[in-house]
Amino acid sequence: MTSLENMQAFVEFAKDKFGHIDVIVNNTGLMPLSKLEVLKIDEWNRMINVNIRGVLHGIAVALPTFKQQHSGQFVNLFLIGGHAVYPTATVYCATKYAVWAISEGLRQESTAIRVTTISPGTALPNLNCSAQSPMLKRRSGSQIPRTSYPGGRDRPGDLVCDQAVRRCGC
């Protein structure tokens, strides 16, 4: 997602194969956890590059096609960090709030293009594995609320995909 050229190649491949593009799903996320005072600036930059720039690249490569078609839909996922801030996840939460703000701005600017946001909570159990500190890896599960899934299902990714498909009218 951080390579604009790769994203462009993906969109061109889809257009060549299917003749058009109906939906782009932007689902990016790195979540290294640390207090701001630790100053892990490289981690911050990586999170910003993936979590924000990845979504912007997805929009940049599909928006011209959607405008030309007079239709299209972006589905942007952002986890609980777009709604609340948690200790050691400050920068992550800022990036997820940015995804919400970008989505809302795009929705307001584009009348013929649909913009859907899905916020499944902390749906991906391995997301916290990018924490660098062993102590934070152990504690992250207790600091950031977990989402419970209907029927005790342990496949949150399936639920997110189901929700995206429903919202796209597929």
- List, by residue number, the catalytic residues: 92
11, HSE (Cβ side, Cα atoms, 13 Å)? 24
Residue located via tokens 């307001």: 108
Q: Give start and end residues of each alpha helix (H) in 48-145.
A: 54-69, 90-109, 134-143
132: which residues sit within 8 A by CB, 6+ positions away? 32, 33, 34, 40, 43
Nearest to 95 by CA among 147, 25, 103: 103
The CA–CA distances, whole Å, from 58 to 80, 89, 117, 118 equal: 21, 24, 14, 16
d(CA 57, CA 36) in angstroms, rounded, equals 27
d(CA 76, CA 28) in angstroms, rounded, equals 9
